[in-house]
Structure 1
């Protein structure tokens, strides 16, 4: 990991990790309606109400990938989550919007 609290992750790398069934925790911080309308398969919605459960359940040694709309808000969330003891935290570059363009068949509802 870099000197930053998190690293950037491109959609192609995330797709490879998912294809290889790499153990990771994938969280989506968009609003609940956006998440319900479509999200990356295997992701869980994360907000102030659900963050406690994530902290209790998600293994700290497993890579944690944060997804937002465009890859900006996820960076702040990634910094915060890194401070909670997660070893490898990533912000998805381009967010869900880039994922939806590059992987339109890989959206769960």
Structure 2
């Protein structure tokens, strides 16, 4: 039996919490948390040296599914990772700041 994935809701995160955003580039480009770092799930294994050393390491995706899988993987590698339940959808719905790198209006789907 696998261990449960540590999880936190958006409401329990300080607004300036650093996040590791594991969505794909098009999702990141459409809008992300201002203090997030981007490392797509599809590139994670090849770029492990870029995983932030934050403790805890909060991981976010669109809704929490992919980030949950990433948290499980990172925990096996010894990282103190925590899944952000509800992902960027809940982040945006809670009125948290969402930015884009090109200045366009954010679009969290």
> Which TM-score band (shorter chain)?
0.7 to 0.9
How far apart are the structure 2 equivalents of 1:44 and 1:81? 16
User: Considering only aligned residues, what root-mean-square deviation do their CA atoms show, in Å?
Assistant: 2.3
Q: Which moved more, 1:61-70 or 1:76-85?
A: 61-70
Q: How does 1:1-109 map to 2 (within 5 A)?
A: 4=3, 6-14=5-13, 16=14, 18=16, 25-47=18-40, 48=43, 51-55=47-51, 58-59=52-53, 62-86=55-79, 88-104=80-96, 106-109=97-100
For structure 1, the 5+ residue unaligned runs are none
Q: In 2, are the aligned partners of 1:5 and 1:78 still within 8 Å (CA)?
A: no
Q: Which TM-score applies when normalising by structure 1?
A: 0.74
**Once superposed, which parts of structure 1, at least 4 consecutive aligned residues long, lie more than 3 Å away?**
3-6
What TM-score do the two structures reach when normalised by structure 2?
A: 0.74
Aligned residues: 96
